[in-house]
Structure 1
Amino acid sequence: MSWQEASTMQLRTEFVHLARQEGVNIRQLCRRFNISPSTAYKWLNRFETSGAEGLHDQSRRPRTSPKRCADEVEQQILTMSQQYEAWGARKLKRVLEDEGAVMPSVSTVHAVLQRHSRVDPKAAEIKPFIRFEHEAPNDLWQIDFKGHFSLSHGRCHPFTALDDHSRFSLCIAACANEQRQTVQDHLIRSFRRYGLPLRMTMDNGSPWGDQTGVYTALEVWLMSQGIKVGHSRPYHPQTQGKLERFHRSLKNEVLQGRFFTDLDDAQRAFDTWRDIYNQKRPHQA
């Protein structure tokens, strides 16, 4: 006949029953049940206080967690995260501190976001890279068109210009096409507002141009303003890495999941976000 297995509760109940008998040797009983005296007296005290219910396993969660942020702080983080869904812990912490809030470490803010499913699982796949930048604003501008998208009426071709040194967004224009005159008109507005850059880098093809010995009308016009013109290497988007990263933010924070009726509707959204990007969004790089 096999031995009958006893549950933990049965063993504790049996121990307490035997230990409460008159004249029993507690330490000898402990050796029999293979437990320490401190554990034995813990069970006895629990039984005296709560009866048989006291012998059940209790939560091991600490009564206080000094390193866990307060509910009020956690709510501040979640509220800001809801307003800027694409931002991570570093940006949220910085903005909240700029507004006067006392924030825990970046890792704690990240833990709060993770606990409430506010962290994109793909974010961990992004690898760090070596950054470089020109020494001063207006040393170099990066310009390009963000991939076009459909509107209720027509299509939108976002034209963007970014300062290489500061990452300041110089222009986000909702355009109806990608023609030279459209680009030139928006650049004139940016030049009048921010001054002329020393150099400009752009993609290849129309209206930019990159044919050896042949200059496009846009290149000729830029060079006539005293601006040096360069092009990214074909099939190497990292040449304009800052602008590519800017386009990713534009997509995640403005375009994704939204639909615009016309160019004016898209431009209003661009203007609102550009102000946030330039004036509020922290740029840790």
Structure 2
Amino acid sequence: MPHRNAPLTETGRLRLARCVVEDGWPLRRAAERFQVSPTTAQRWADRYRTHGEAGMRDLSSRPHTSPRRTPTRTERRIIKVRILRRWGPARIAGLLHLVPSTVHRVLTRYGLARLTHLDRATGRVIRRYERERPGELVHVDIKKLGNIPNGGGHKVLGRQEGRSKRRGAGYSYIHTAVDDHSRLADSEILTDERKETATAFWTRAHAFFTQAGITVERVLTDNGYCYRSRDWRNVLAEAGITHKRTRPYRPQTNGKVERLNRTLLDEWAYARPYRSEQERRDVFPEWLHTYNHHRGHTALKGQPPASRVPNLTGQYT
């Protein structure tokens, strides 16, 4: 298929060639008429003389021979190591004494999935899914985060002094709930991950989703102690919500909230050097609002989560 700026399509090439070959037009006149160079006009005229109308089609740019292509035996060894060990190009190249770029080309040529798309335990391609409506499934998780000592950590003071001040700073626990369909999130920075704290957070998060017009049907969590407690089970049962837990050692099952945790660290927690834990916490509500209302999400075709929740209060602010 010709590219969008190509001056000639297959029909245009055929008309040009016939003007030169059958009607006897000079090359320069034909080139000027069809707005191409005389060299191009000569090429299509010669192709028409040799192959007729079939010669007006685009030919493959692949060379007839590739003497420097990686030998088939080496390609098989690369594929075997990838399938059996699930290594990346750099590690495979080190084992087979190759260049990583060569290994990467072989893996791409045979269409082998990226490691990020594979389940490391089974080697199977991870199936990406999305629930059909808001509230059908809500992912819940807790992220443990080291506090910043007063005066700043190693990003402000340097690694040596930052380490000495880090002692005794303690930890924060970020409790997060994210809707599977819309990616709308509610998150709070709390002091621990006990069952009472987790249950109280979910009560507030449930109210947040309800206010947004979302009826929560199921909640997915890991196997943490707080999520296996009687308090957690009762608070979900009272609201008629089904609780589902991930399989042990399979965090990818709860991947949407895990991915939000990484985004949260990159774009808020470690986005700039803070001089105190309180300074970082003061920025958090604004960041969360930006995430829900303004930040484009790749899974939503560049739109924010609020675009999928028409009843969300203040989505146009």
Which structure: larger Rg?
Answer: 1
TM-score (norm 2): 0.45
Q: Which has the higher contact order (CA 8 A, sep 6+)?
A: 1
TM-score (norm 1): 0.50
